[in-house]
Amino acid sequence: MNEGMYADKLLDVKDLQKIMPIGRDKAYALMHARAFPAIKIGGRYFVSENALHKWLESHAYKQVIL
């Protein structure tokens, strides 16, 4: 298996808050949004760092309503 493919970090809600200028409630809403590339492991939501950057690039100059 190509380990480089999975080398990026999994980010949780707190990480998302640090990266983006949003509060806790908005970070949770984003993680639960259908168009957001989050994954649920157990009861927690995560997004890979790479998927987050791709999502941000694809949504540049667009409005995201949560």
The residue among 57, 52, 60 whose CA lies nearest residue 8 is 52
Whether the predicted pLDDT of 3 surpasses 60: no
The domain that holds 29 is classified in CATH as 1.10.10
Q: Which domain holds residue 20?
A: 3-58
In a domain, 65, yes or no: no
Give a yes or no: residue 53 inside a domain: yes
Per-residue pLDDT at 1 exceeds 70: no
The number of distinct structural domains making up the chain is 1
Task: Please tell me the distance from the alpha carbon of residue 48 to that of residue 12, in angstroms, as a whole number.
Answer: 9
Residue 10 domain-assigned?
yes
Burial class (CB in 10 A: 0-12, 13-18, 19+), 9: exposed
Residue 60 has pLDDT above 70, yes or no: yes
Q: Is residue 48 part of a domain?
A: yes
Tell me the per-residue pLDDT of 22-47, one tens digit each, with 9 for 90 and over: 999 999 999 999 999 999 999 999 99
Q: Is residue 64 part of a domain?
A: no
Task: Report if residue 27 sits inside a domain.
Answer: yes
